[in-house]
Amino acid sequence: MNTRAPGTAGPIADSADSVAANKRPGATARIRNPASYDSERQLLAAIVNASHDAIYSWNTGGVITSWNAEAERLFGYTADEIVGKSLLLLIPEERLERARDAIANLLHGEFYGQYETVRLREDGVPFDVELTVSPIRDGSGAIVGVATVCRDITQRKEFEARLRLAIEAAQHAQEQQAFLINEFNHRVKNTLATVQSLAVMTLKTKAPAEFADAFSRRLAALSATYDLLTSSGWEHALLDDVIEAELKPYMSSQITLEPSAPAILLSPKAALSMGLVFHELPTNAAKHGALSQNSGRLLVRWQRADRDGRQFLSVQWRERDGPEPKTARTAGFGSRLIESSITDELGGEITVYYPPAGFHTEIVLPIDNLSR
């Protein structure tokens, strides 16, 4: 009875003569001393079975004919279990058609050398491998089988995947940094332009003694909105928060707020415009309107409304029980700033009323303009 070490099932030693005799293209077999011949076969078999790579061979029928110890460890099949079985047992179902074509090509002498693919373990789990295939020829040079060296490259593939993700993340971070720098520059320029406009217009409509106070208050209004935007990463601000931030210095039992449900998100541009509007309105009310007297009352209501299939924001500002309004309130930079912010910046409409009961303004804005 033949005996063999684990992992040496099949003709690894038996095919050593053809592998050794054909290790050079076109080499021809030569007669050797039988003792030397057996020694070479045993050495080759020992090398194969001591290899840290899985090495196996298969014949022209696609049947596995040898299987070394590392192949047992890597695939999970013992040599006795797999030798004599089809090579296709090692190939995932979705790759079978391509594998059959590759096998046919190999047996016709089209060798791919080294390539990466996927193989199946005995438990059905696929894993990434690198294969090196070499022909086994007989004494006449005809291909009688194929020897395969198989390396598990799962860890390498995982490392490459992590490396790709890291590179992509670094590229994204770099792009994001460039975007943020450009966005920051854009916002700084816009802010400086706004501050310059506020300064010039405030100076035109105020005596020098009043300029510092009015200008400082308008800068504070901008700052309050900036704080809200910063807390969201400059992505948006809630209209409720903008209105409440600007009315905070005046909040008392005189003021009633009726916010919209659901809440309305504002883009940075819309938030800054609305912040200035809701700074000027209570400033005027505190100087000339309902908030200038203890008896005065202010109702601020904002809600969604439909018009011709399009959604709008409707804001009602109603003052009561204060001094009778005068149309002269429409003059001045504050009033022009409100109108410009609503009509020019946000594409909305503003209507102002001066009934004896108290100043009233209605603002209507397209909802989609507020998110751009």
The pLDDT value given to residue 25: 44
Q: Is the pLDDT of residue 316 over 70?
A: yes
DSSP 8-state class, residue 63: B
- Its pTM stands at 0.51
Q: Which residue has the higher pLDDT, 87 or 108?
A: 87
Task: Give residue for tokens 């390396």.
Answer: 151
Average pLDDT of the residues in 24-52: 56
What φ, ψ does residue 51 adopt, rounded to 5°? Answer: -65, 145
For the chain, what percent of residues have pLDDT higher than 90?
A: 47
Q: Which residue has the higher pLDDT, 331 or 158?
A: 158
**Mean pLDDT within 43-69:** 83
Give dist(CA 117, CA 199) in Å, integer: 69
At a CB cut-off of 8 Å and minimum separation 6, what does 306 contact? 312
With vertex at residue 115, the alpha carbon angle to CA 118 and CA 133, rounded to the nearest 5 degrees, is: 100
* Tens of pLDDT, residues 280-292: 899 989 988 999 9
18 pLDDT exceeds 80?
A: no
DSSP for 81-98, written as a single string: HHTTSBGGGGS-GGGHHH
pLDDT at 302 over 60: yes
Whether residue 308 has pLDDT greater than 80: yes
Predicted local distance difference test score (pLDDT) of residue 295: 93
Q: In Å, how far from its chain's centre is CA 265?
A: 23
Which H or E run includes 169?
helix 154-205
Average pLDDT, the chain: 82
Cβ neighbourhood burial of 265 (10 Å; 0-12, 13-18, 19+): middle
Mean pLDDT of the 99-111 span: 84
| Least confident piece of the model among 192-196, 275-279, 298-302, 357-361 | 192-196
Identify the band that residue 224 occupies on the pLDDT scale cut at 50, 70 and 90.
confident
Residue 230 in this model has a pLDDT that exceeds 60: yes
The residue ranking higher by pLDDT, 131 or 213, is: 131
Q: Higher pLDDT residue, 31 or 97?
A: 97
Q: Which of 95-99, 175-179, 208-212 has the lowest mean pLDDT?
A: 208-212
Q: Higher model confidence: residue 206 or residue 170?
A: 170
Q: What is the pLDDT of residues 66-82, one digit of tens each?
A: 999 999 999 999 999 99
Looking at residue 331, what is its pLDDT? 55
- Mean pLDDT within 6-23: 45
CA-to-CA separations, 283 to 246, 250, 288, 329, in angstroms, rounded? 10, 9, 9, 12
Peptide bond into 262 cis (omega under 30): yes
pLDDT at 307: 84
pLDDT at residue 34 in the model: 58
- Answer whether residue 192 shows pLDDT above 70: no
Choose among 69, 51, 64: nearest CA to 4: 69
Greatest mean pLDDT among 29-38, 110-119, 309-318 = 309-318
The pLDDT assigned to 246 comes to 92
pLDDT at 203 over 80: no
120 CB-near residues (< 8 Å, 6+ apart): 75, 89, 90, 91, 92, 126, 127
